[in-house]
Copies of this chain bind each other. A is one copy, B any other.
Amino acid sequence: MDDAGLNTDALMRTLGRRGREAAATLRLAGPEQRTAAIAGMAAAVREAAADILAGNAEDMARARAAGLGAAMLDRLALTPERVEGVAAGLDTVAAIPDPVGAEMARWTRPNGLDIARVRTPIGVIGVIYESRPNVTADAAALCVRAGNAVILRGGSESLSSSLAIHAALEAGLRSAGLPEAAVQIVPTADRGAVGAMLAGLDGNLDLLIPRGGKSLVARVREEARVAVLGHLEGLCHTYVHAAADPDKARALVLNAKMRRTGVCGATETLLIDATAAPRLLPAIADDLRAAGCALRGDGRARALVPGMAEAGEVDWRTEYLDAVLAVRVVDGLDAAVEHVATYGSGHTDAIVTEDAAAAEAWTARVDSAIVLVNASTQFADGGEFGFGAEIGIATDRLHARGPVGAEQLTTFKYVVRGTGQTRP
């Protein structure tokens, strides 16, 4: 290993140790103190706006020199408005009810033992993310809200922006008397840092959250030696059932696809019953095309919508994240459920129907994190669920599924109160 590697390795071990110590303090701090820290972070970000923009200017200059594309540059760019957005996001998290210590359940056994299941922080959480600098603040605040210490590893292209934001987060922690090590950032672009986090920092990392593209999440899933809460992809469906209300169907499909095409809750495939398609599909297609959406359909869909491109197997499997919709005509609910089970990613899937029995069958049989009836798949969002904020949508099945908010960043312990009971 070269010197840089050695230094990074030693550095990461130190971050792990300091994170573990800070987690112990944070776990025992009161909710008010955590709230004060997050509110202090918001204030410090507003005070440090100039420094943050200066750091971002350095990142942008490097990115332009490196020839990054327009989309990447836009994700990386900060403006005074976006910095205020970061601070406002922190205010939102400061307002989320503190989950630590909440009693999830409590019961008494025949022998008199009083058993309570109580929420506790997870410990030290690692977040590995890509270019958006605002994740530095969002992720840190949500972890602290749930009583966890966090170690942040952002994209190298946003390092200067992230370091400037991180300095403000530390100031917020100081202002509330909490250890700065509650929120640490990896200050180097050395890729060895990621390897050290995947290896678990000598047992000082309890959970890894990758936030970024499929390749990042897949690598973390494949190589991590610690628990991972990851969002792989959102291949979401909207199914227009035979008994769908026409106006609702038109409004829901248009919103589910086109409100924002780049979010994981955007519908990628429209399934529509053969009995409803002749009535509804042409109008739905007109709405979508008027909004700038390209359509790719199977044979029966194309027969109903002139000029629709042909969709193949690959389209059923593609998360476009773009103004493109795959369309398939199906023969009833069984076929729709089968399609979702075969091609979906278990993220978010909606049915449009006025038939209560069909709605119940859909919610019972579709095994996705979020199953909707007569609502847009774009509601797949922690804020829309009332969580206040989210760090992502989990597509795994264990621990947390769907939007990951402060509650999902906790675990629990059992507190058993007795009066001297021994076990027979």
Report the interface size for chain A: residues with CB under 8 A from the other chain.
Answer: 64
| Contact call B413/A368, Cβ cutoff below 8 A | yes
Count of chain copies:
2
A259 CB contacts on chain B under 8 angstroms: 422-423
For A28, A372, A375, A384, the residue with the greatest tally of chain B CB atoms inside 10 Å of its CB is A375
| Contact call B414/A376, Cβ cutoff below 8 A | no
| Contact call B255/A418, Cβ cutoff below 8 A | no
Q: Counting CB contacts under 8 A, is A417 at the interface?
A: yes
| Contact call A372/B227, Cβ cutoff below 8 A | no
A120 CB contacts on chain B under 8 angstroms: 367
A422 CB contacts on chain B under 8 angstroms: 251-252, 254-256, 259, 375-376, 378
| Contact call A420/B245, Cβ cutoff below 8 A | yes
Q: Counting CB contacts under 8 A, is A412 at the interface?
A: yes
| Contact call B252/A420, Cβ cutoff below 8 A | yes
Residue ranges of A at the interface with B (Cβ–Cβ < 8 Å): 24, 27-28, 107, 109, 113, 115, 120, 122-123, 206-207, 222, 225, 227, 245, 247-248, 251-252, 254-256, 259, 341, 359, 363-365, 367-376, 378-379, 381, 384-386, 396-399, 401-402, 411-423
| Contact call B255/A384, Cβ cutoff below 8 A | no
| Contact call B418/A372, Cβ cutoff below 8 A | yes
Q: Which residue from chain B places its CB closest to the CB of A365 in the assembled complex?
A: B28
| Contact call A412/B401, Cβ cutoff below 8 A | yes
Known: A28-B364, A107-B386, A402-B413. A419 touches B374 (CB 8 A): yes
| Contact call A398/B207, Cβ cutoff below 8 A | yes
| Contact call A374/B418, Cβ cutoff below 8 A | yes
| Contact call B401/A399, Cβ cutoff below 8 A | no
| Contact call A372/B225, Cβ cutoff below 8 A | no
Known: A122-B398, A398-B398. A423 touches B384 (CB 8 A): yes
A250 to B123, CA, bound (A): 35
For A248, give its contact among B122, B222, B369, B420 (CB under 8 Å): B420
Sample of 18 further A-B pairs with CB below 8 A, known A254-B422, A373-B415, A375-B420: A24-B367, A27-B367, A107-B386, A115-B386, A248-B420, A251-B420, A359-B417, A367-B413, A370-B416, A371-B414, A372-B418, A373-B416, A374-B420, A374-B421, A375-B421, A375-B422, A379-B423, A398-B411
Known: A398-B411, A414-B385. A376 touches B28 (CB 8 A): no
| Contact call B398/A399, Cβ cutoff below 8 A | yes
| Contact call A423/B378, Cβ cutoff below 8 A | yes
Known: A365-B28, A399-B398. A371 touches B122 (CB 8 A): no
A396 to B396, CA, bound (A): 17
| Contact call A376/B423, Cβ cutoff below 8 A | yes
| Contact call A379/B113, Cβ cutoff below 8 A | yes
A227 to B384, CA, bound (A): 29
| Contact call B385/A115, Cβ cutoff below 8 A | yes
**8 shortest interchain CB distances as A-B pairs:** A375-B418, A255-B422, A248-B420, A399-B399, A378-B423, A227-B398, A372-B416, A374-B418
Chain A to chain B contacts (Cβ below 8 Å), 27 pairs: A27-B367, A109-B385, A113-B379, A115-B385, A115-B386, A206-B398, A245-B420, A247-B420, A251-B420, A251-B422, A363-B417, A368-B413, A369-B413, A371-B414, A373-B415, A373-B417, A373-B418, A374-B417, A374-B420, A375-B422, A376-B423, A379-B416, A379-B421, A379-B423, A401-B411, A401-B413, A401-B414
